[in-house]
Structure 1
Amino acid sequence: MSTMSDYERIRLVVLGGPGVGKSCIVKRFLTNTYCNKYRSTVEDLYNREYDLGHMTLKVDILDTAGDMQFPVMRRLCIATAHAFLLVYAVTSAPSFGCVKQCFEEIREQRKDYEDIPIVVAGNKLDLTASHREISVEDVSEWVYCQLPKLRVKILECSAKDDINIKEIFRSFLTLSKFLPKDNAVDSSGGLKRRSSAYVSATSKGKRRAESPLPEKDKASASGSAAAEGIHLAKPRSRSLIRRASRKAKQQIRDAQSIDECNVS
């Protein structure tokens, strides 16, 4: 991750086998909805802006296909990611094998893989009462014994029952050092969406298609967007950033909860 500033943009790429609930996790977090009908994903990109008090964080969440039909697209996703969410189903041992394969792809393509925040999430926790094939101990042994130097967090979750979904995304803030490890979080959990007064036209809850390539600089991003007919949001002016940042910090101090991330 790049060093923190008043305005940061990161890309989170979701990887895993087919049918493990990658899209369900993303939609539960973003819209608090769940659909039990399976629809194969090709590639879905979601954009959100969040106010962390001391900074504004723009997050691109890229939900990828669970199969290997699009290898070029998959390589591009891995190459442009700032963080990874690797999803398996606790009811499927083969799905955990897919997670291991995804990690091998990351290790092969990214020389900085040990510095990239990674969350390994075991979905479908709601089904473990009747069926479980992968325990959290199995995953921990693989991660902490074979891959001890990673910046990684292991969680089990349920998109259906909304268990640990917000914790997944809070973990990325901690691993990315946007939040300290011992940071206090309110009971509601999750990131706080920026108010409508500050949200750009492209982040008012409507999903917009964007180029999968990251912004290297303002000029190249604008040129790419113009070529593909994409409307990119303009970042706030630095004066507005500073005013909003000071106001947020004062509110945090008044509440005696310094650097608290209000999660939704």
Structure 2
Amino acid sequence: MNTTEKFYLPVDGILDLFNSFAAHPRFLTAHSVLQSAALTPVFQHPKVSKLSKTGMGIIKTVKGCWRRQDKRVIPRRSSSSGNRQVSTDRLPKSSVDLAELGQTKPRNRHRIVVLGAPRVGKTNILRRFLGEDYEEHYEPTVEDFYRKLFHIGGETYQVDLLDAASERDFPAKRRLTILTADIFLLVFSLEDRDSLDEVRELLSEIKAAKAKLLKSNHTTSVPTVVCGNKADLEAQRVVSRSEVVKILGEDVPFFETSAKNGTGLEGVFRALASLGDLPDETSPSQHQMIPILSYQSMCINKRGRRRRHSRGLSAPCAAVDPLARRPSFTSDLRLVLGSSTKHKKPEKCQIQ
């Protein structure tokens, strides 16, 4: 073999090599390209320059397939309500916890628990609070956990929202959820009287659980907002405002809402903010939504410079953490036991 022949390679050998990987999913697209290339007449021993152009074209095609296949997606949260996904290319490495960043005060962190009968619109109300659109398709919720982070007037706030729909059949689990909540949002449908009865029972259970946790013999005031949803379905309405006030009492903030057209939701969000001593700017209409990476960068850049901030310094903004997960039940149990010992050491676990 002379010097020139040493640089000659058969194209058929390259095609056979790539065809051996055709069964792999990553190579399905590339395989079809290679098959079409194999049908093109070529010389048995092409020159190096021609082979280089052909080989580079094949390599570029395969690399493109790899990049498309490697763009993995992960679920936004563990939930049964929808298949929304977020690319890992636009996510932080882990959940953004303002407490761990040292960027928020304990009084600025709240957990809102949403309870109510199925099919009353809890998920869509939460979607509105998160700045998302109404979703017509209904899919039963097992459990949804959201975390919305705010930056308002130089202060940071963290609001965790838990829709624990599956806990209706698990009293002990529901009791733990109730004891770890700071604020409650109870939702029923104006077209379903049974859903109102369930809210009444939930309200009684919440008051009893909180009173026992605090070792109080008196009725405990619980930060609660009640929503009578589906106000847009006036023709199907069976529950009147006067009936709600009679059943729940006048001390519970009550709003007639429509998650579909947004009626009454602004009042609900403002009431939740008031009960949690949060700024009015936490209402979706009062702040701008930004990507989670932008929010994280902003918090990191401002670390150690809290004293320089003043109220009204920057425009209100917020971000939803797509990697947030509900704390473990062990963590919640420790939280409950810790809060109960502040008043009096409990004789037994309050969850039972």
Deviation at 1:54, TM superposition (A): 5.5
Q: Deviations over 1:76-121 (max 9, x none)?
A: 2101000000000011111100101111210221116744321100
Which residue of 303, 306, 312 maps to 1:249? Answer: 312
Name stretches of at least 5 consecutive residues in structure 1 with no aligned partner.
202-232, 253-260
Which residue of 115, 119, 122 maps to 1:22? Answer: 122
Residues of 2 paired with 1:63 and 1:187: CA distance?
19
- The structure with the greater share of residues assigned to helix is 2
Which residue of 102, 105, 124 maps to 2:230? Answer: 124
Question: 1:100-249 counterparts in 2 under 5 A?
Answer: 100-111=200-211, 114-128=220-234, 130-144=235-249, 148=251, 152-179=252-279, 189-193=285-289, 199-200=295-296, 237=303, 239-243=304-308, 245-246=309-310, 248-249=311-312
Amino acid at match of 2:305: L
Residues of 2 paired with 1:20 and 1:166: CA distance?
18
Residues of 2 paired with 1:73 and 1:186: CA distance?
29
Q: Does structure 1 conserve the Cα–Cα contact (< 8 Å) formed by 2:187 and 2:229?
A: yes
Q: Which runs of 4+ in 1 moved over 4 A?
A: 4-7, 185-188, 190-198, 261-264
Change (3 A) 1:105 1:186: closer
Amino acid at match of 2:312: K
Q: Does structure 2 conserve the Cα–Cα contact (< 8 Å) formed by 1:122 and 1:155?
A: yes
Q: Does structure 2 conserve the Cα–Cα contact (< 8 Å) formed by 1:25 and 1:159?
A: yes
Specify the alignment match of 1:86 in structure 2.
186
Q: Does structure 2 conserve the Cα–Cα contact (< 8 Å) formed by 1:88 and 1:95?
A: yes
Q: Choose between structure 1 and 2 for higher RCO, CA contacts under 8 A separated by at least 6 residues.
A: 1
Q: Deviations over 1:181-233 (max 9, x none)?
A: xx7x79973455567576239xxxxxxxxxxxxxxxxxxxxxxxxxxxxxxx9
Change (3 A) 1:12 1:6: closer
Deviation at 1:31, TM superposition (A): 3.4
Q: Does structure 2 conserve the Cα–Cα contact (< 8 Å) formed by 1:49 and 1:59?
A: yes
Q: Does structure 2 conserve the Cα–Cα contact (< 8 Å) formed by 1:17 and 1:67?
A: no
Q: Does structure 1 conserve the Cα–Cα contact (< 8 Å) formed by 2:188 and 2:227?
A: yes
Residues of 1 paired with 2:221 and 2:306: CA distance?
28
Deviation at 1:38, TM superposition (A): 2.0
User: Is 1:97 aligned to 2:202, yes or no?
Assistant: no
Output the TM-score relative to the length of structure 2. Answer: 0.51
Residues of 2 paired with 1:186 and 1:73: CA distance?
29
Deviation at 1:166, TM superposition (A): 3.1
Change (3 A) 1:10 1:116: same
SS of equivalent residue, structure 1 residue 68: helix
Change (3 A) 1:125 1:50: same
Specify the alignment match of 1:38 in structure 2.
138
Deviation at 1:131, TM superposition (A): 1.7
Give me the CA root mean square deviation: 3.4
Q: Does structure 1 conserve the Cα–Cα contact (< 8 Å) formed by 2:149 and 2:318?
A: no
Change (3 A) 1:100 1:6: closer
* Alignment size in residue pairs: 209
Amino acid at match of 1:68: R
Choose 1 or 2 for highest CA Rg: 2
SS of equivalent residue, structure 1 residue 158: coil
Amino acid at match of 1:118: T
Change (3 A) 1:192 1:84: farther
Residues of 1 paired with 2:270 and 2:110: CA distance?
14
Deviation at 1:18, TM superposition (A): 0.9
User: Is 1:61 aligned to 2:126, yes or no?
Assistant: no
Deviation at 1:169, TM superposition (A): 1.6
- Greater shift, 19-28 or 136-145, is seen at 136-145
Residues of 1 paired with 2:276 and 2:190: CA distance?
26
Change (3 A) 1:193 1:118: farther
Amino acid at match of 1:122: G
Output the TM-score relative to the length of structure 1. Answer: 0.67
